[in-house]
A and B are shown apart, each in its own frame.
Chain A
Amino acid sequence: MLDFLNTLDRRWVFLAMGLAVAIPILLGIGATEQPTAQTQRMFDYIEALPAGSRVLMALDYDPSSEAELTPMAYSFTRHCCLKRHKLYFLTLWPSGPPMLDKTISKVVLGEFDSSGRPMKYGEDYLNLGYFPGEFGAVNPICSNLRQSKSQDSKGISLDALPMMNGVNGGKDMQLIVNVSGGYPGAKEWVQYGSTPHNIPMGAGCTGVQATQLFPYHPDQLVGLVAAIRGAAEYEAILAKAYPQYNELRWRDGTRRMGAQQWAHRLMIGLILLGNAIHIASRRGRGRR
């Protein structure tokens, strides 16, 4: 048995992982989350901002991290729309504009376009598009936005948009909300944007990046929503405060936690089994 496990073809492990994720998806198994302090702080900060506050929504991710970050991008946008904050969307990633378009069309246009007071382009939200330059783009965005771009993503002059009146850049915003998939992302926004310009900032990030951002919380980041679990937590808090978002169709993060749970169980089992085999093999070699 020991020899069999020691020489097990890794493709069986691949198959086990595939099934651990596929079966919960096919059976529609989800999992709700209890919020942590970091996620709660993020929610509370956005909730406490006066209606109509200016929020810079920097969605810095691409399809490779879409799975984790799109649910939280939707939740942040949804929350800000519910509070009628003014949203300034932009991205530092070249493949980020489709992520902006998706968030705007799904949440802003899909959920708030036909409500009692729809969100109007240029007055309640606008899409500034992609800002090239990686870390070098952050400071100009915060200090002098028009120096980087004089038009939005549709080619409309910024001076023609009502919500750009009196706004020179990020330093005139009440909050930066950054959804970060890596570099450039939350770290660059903290280093070149929020810390030198004293702009409050909250971040959502992937699991890979989460530990790098823990030191910034709570002094330099008002809140931190980490990985798909953080997204599920934010959805749970939002659903509690706004019960119309309790259904599973609004909660992609919650839906993905079901498969996550089973895959985690598999991972723990594999780690324990691998170590058990290692210990048993060592003992067997010791006896010989």
Chain B
Amino acid sequence: MQKTVPVVIAGSVGALMALAFFSPPLLWMREKAEEWFTILAAIAMLLGGTNLCVHHLRRISDREAGWGFSAVTLLTFVITVGVGVLKVGVVPESARNLDRAWSGGYLQEGGAFWWMFQYVYSPMMSTMFALLAFYVASAAFRAFRAKNFEAALLLVTAIIVLIGQTPDRDFLPEQLSFIRFETLTELCKKTFVTAGQRAIMIGIALGVAATSLRILLGLDRSYLGGDE
């Protein structure tokens, strides 16, 4: 019962989703399932948020190393959720709703939630990802060594494409344009890169199809977790 019912649910729902591609009368079921999937994902987000609070509260109560940062995390989490759910600073956007102060969008420009997104979330997310530029440079210097033919092929291609992606590519005369970095880069992308990626894509598609079939047939039950 504990494992049979979920396997039956997964198999029957999955089979309906697959059949709906070929059977128009089943399309409404597919649309409903896709919506319910979204709702469940949002509820799982609530679970995740609760787990986050529990984890950090535990760190604070146990006075673990760095518990002050946990306090900062919790405080910003509560403030963000508070101003977002309560739509602090949001004004009505249309005349027909002027008597309802909370009727504007939660991300309305000028609201408190928008302010947090614009001046805290957005710049920090961008900067976190911008750090990768430094690490890529450091890795290029210390780790990208051509230790064999294949690695050398990878690095030579990388250098050709790096040059071909910027205006440095055009220093060869017109008569030798067929071996200009730009030409080589485009040829590389149109042929070798497309071929390699296509093979990877076909392989992944077969893998996904095989795994999906195993789930639908109840052969793969790893998503149920261990015995509890």
Name A residues whose Cβ lies closer than 8 Å to a Cβ of B.
8, 10, 13-14, 16-18, 21, 31-34, 36-37, 62-67, 95, 97-98, 101, 129, 132-134, 136-137, 139-140, 143-144, 147-148, 153-156, 196, 211-212, 214-215, 217, 227, 229, 257, 260-261, 263-268, 270-275, 278
- Quick one: which of A64, A261, A273, A274 contacts B125, CB cutoff 8 A? A64
Verify A267–B140 contact, CB threshold 8 A.
yes
Q: Which residues of B contact A37 (CB under 8 A)?
A: 186
Verify B162–A267 contact, CB threshold 8 A.
yes
Nearest Cβ in chain B — how far from A36, in angstroms?
6
| Chain A proximity mask over B149-166: 1 for CB below 8 Å, otherwise 0 | 000000100110011011
Verify A13–B144 contact, CB threshold 8 A.
no
Verify B198–A64 contact, CB threshold 8 A.
no
Verify B122–A132 contact, CB threshold 8 A.
no
Nearest Cβ in chain B — how far from A45, in angstroms?
18
Verify B105–A154 contact, CB threshold 8 A.
yes
**Given A32-B167, A211-B197, do A267 and B145 touch, yes or no (CB 8 Å)?**
no
Q: Is B220's CB within 8 Å of the partner chain A?
A: no
**Given A215-B194, A264-B165, do A133 and B34 touch, yes or no (CB 8 Å)?**
yes
Q: Which residues of A contact B61 (CB under 8 A)?
A: none
CA distance A10 to B41 in the complex (A): 42
Closest residue on chain A to residue B165 by CB atoms? A229
Q: Which residues of A contact B194 (CB under 8 A)?
A: 214-215, 217
Which of B7-15, B129-137, B210-218 participates in binding chain A? B129-137
Q: Which residues of A contact B155 (CB under 8 A)?
A: 271, 275
Closest residue on chain A to residue B124 by CB atoms? A63
**Given A155-B103, A271-B140, do A98 and B118 touch, yes or no (CB 8 Å)?**
yes
Q: Is B37's CB within 8 Å of the partner chain A?
A: yes
Q: Is B73's CB within 8 Å of the partner chain A?
A: no
Verify B105–A261 contact, CB threshold 8 A.
no
Closest residue on chain B to residue A187 by CB atoms? B201
**Given A133-B37, A136-B34, A155-B94, do A31 and B166 touch, yes or no (CB 8 Å)?**
yes
Nearest Cβ in chain A — how far from B143, in angstroms?
8
CA distance A101 to B117 in the complex (A): 13
CA distance A129 to B106 in the complex (A): 12
Q: Is B64's CB within 8 Å of the partner chain A?
A: no
List 7 interface pairs A-B (beta carbons < 8 Å), by A numbering. Answer: A63-B126, A64-B126, A132-B38, A270-B140, A272-B159, A275-B144, A278-B145
Give the A-B pair count, Cβ closer than 8 A. 150
Verify A143–B133 contact, CB threshold 8 A.
no
Nearest Cβ in chain B — how far from A12, in angstroms?
10
Verify B122–A143 contact, CB threshold 8 A.
no
Verify B197–A13 contact, CB threshold 8 A.
no
| Chain A proximity mask over B38-49: 1 for CB below 8 Å, otherwise 0 | 100110000000
Closest residue on chain B to residue A271 by CB atoms? B140
Nearest Cβ in chain A — how far from B66, in angstroms?
24
Nearest Cβ in chain B — how far from A227, in angstroms?
8
Q: Which residues of A contact B197 (CB under 8 A)?
A: 211-212, 214-215
Among A154, A196, A264: residue with most chain B CB under 10 A: A264
Q: Which residues of A contact B42 (CB under 8 A)?
A: 132
CA distance A62 to B121 in the complex (A): 10
- Quick one: which of A16, A140, A154, A261 contacts B137, CB cutoff 8 A? A16
Q: Is B128's CB within 8 Å of the partner chain A?
A: yes
Verify B38–A137 contact, CB threshold 8 A.
yes
Verify A63–B122 contact, CB threshold 8 A.
yes
